[in-house]
Amino acid sequence: MGDIAVHMYPQTYRSRSGQAQDFGEVGFPIFAARTPLRPVDVALRAAIVGLTLATAYIHSTLGGLLFTLNAAGYVVAAVAMIIPLAIAVRFRWVVRVGLIGYAATAIVAWAVMGPYFSTAYIAKAIEVALIVALAIDFVRHDGSPIAVVRRELATLADFVNRRGPLGAGA
């Protein structure tokens, strides 16, 4: 399985330590290289997945298409938080931000529409805890959001510069 690679444009990415990693023509591996996680990181990731699956379970028991789709979205997000695919690892920050937005949207929608019963308050408490855990995980792994935006814009600019001007190959 280690020989499987997806060949894309040659790119150089900066690791968290700031050193350049040039993938050149070898392509990108489908499965991410194993990176050592501290026990705190593993516990935090497990808490995120547990909270996500807990709120998914609550929504799945409520019946109706909207709640079922909400539960399915939470399950997909939980899988995206732990799957070892290289693209998922590379863009894990997008998963974190998306899950924060997803949980916040569920809270706001509940506040606007209701119903206000005890299970709903439990689900919203879980979602608030999930947002806090995701924010902590984001800062621990990705740094400040401004640094992430700068890094991604630099990667995009590098990609565009390597491709050349628009219409050059047409």
User: Residue 109: what pLDDT?
Assistant: 93
pLDDT in tens, 3-37: 333 333 344 444 455 554 544 444 555 655 556 77
pLDDT band with cut points at 50, 70 and 90 for residue 166: low
Token readout for 97 is 């931000």
Kindly provide the residue ranges of all beta strands, DSSP E only, lying in the chain, ordered along the sequence. 5-6, 12-14, 20-22, 28-29
The pLDDT of residue 152 is: 87
Average pLDDT over residues 76-88: 91
A 10 A CB-CB count for 30 gives 15
Is the bond into 115 cis (omega within 30 degrees of 0)? yes
CA atoms within 13 A on the CB side of 145: 6
Q: List the single range of 1-15, 68-82, 86-100 with lowest mean pLDDT.
A: 1-15
Pairing of β 5-6 and β 28-29:
antiparallel
Beta bridge partners of 21: 13
pLDDT at 70: 95
Q: pLDDT digit string (tens) for 109-163?
A: 999 998 888 999 999 999 999 999 999 999 998 888 898 889 889 888 888 888 7
User: What 3-state class would DSSP assign to 12?
Assistant: strand
> What DSSP element (H or E) covers 43?
helix 39-60
pLDDT confidence of residue 156: 87
Residue 33 is predicted with a pLDDT of 56
Residue with tokens 């995980």: 137
Ramachandran bin of 143, using left for φ above 0, alpha for ψ from -120 to 50, beta for the remaining angles: left
> Domain locations in the chain?
38-160
pLDDT of residue 167: 54
